[in-house]
Amino acid sequence: MNRGDAVPDGDGNEPAHATGDEVAWTDSLSEQARDWYFIAMDLQNDGRLAIGADLLVRASCLDGGSAPLREAAARAQFRASQYFGSSVTFTAMFALNTKDDFAWYASGLCLALMGYFDKALLHLTEAAGRRPDVERYGHALAVVQKVSDEVEGDPVLMPSYLVPRIPIASELLALELGARPGPAESSG
């Protein structure tokens, strides 16, 4: 298997191996960005999440027009527990495409994991409103609402190491990005 055959899988875990159309989007990248992408995938596969995330962010700066590269960088940051950076990257994604429900959802998860519950609720409400057919969006919204209620009153900024001390936070920590949902089912 060639280094170039690695692509991230849909649920944000270790890279899956694929060929053909599944890696065709990398052909549009500059040579440097493409090389960095594949090196980053190898690093992540070896468990070096933070270094891989950093390299993907750098690659996305080289080829900022690549939405899949931006998403790969944001997912890598999330896996490396770099929630602030991941939130910024996902926010940039929905700033460029306000209809991107997954970017709204993912940014909301990052914000919740940092303790920005008020902002997280806004982003998760947007995602769930755009795609009520995606159950995990509504579930995440309910969990973050419970956690927000648990901290009583105004949502507060908390370092992520304090989040597990909130009794309901285990549900928050169990939330995952998951695969990008497919197109919405049309009724009619």
Report phi then psi at 83, rounded to 5.
-65, -35
Contacts for 110 with CB less than 8 Å, ≥ 6 apart: 78, 83, 84, 86, 87, 90, 120
Tell me the C-alpha distance between 10 and 63, whole Å: 21
**Residue 3 belongs to what domain range?**
1-80
**The pair of three-digit structure tokens given for residue 173, joined into one six-digit string:** 């920590």
**% of residues, the chain, pLDDT over 90:** 49
pTM of the model: 0.77
Same domain, 66 and 102: no
Residue 129 pLDDT exceeds 80: yes
Tens digit of pLDDT for each residue in 15-62? 444 444 446 778 888 899 999 999 999 999 999 999 999 999 999 998
Domain annotation covers residue 3: yes
Contacts for 165 with CB less than 8 Å, ≥ 6 apart: none
Same domain, 160 and 91: yes
Same domain, 88 and 169: yes
Domain annotation covers residue 44: yes
Structurally, how many domains does the chain consist of? 2
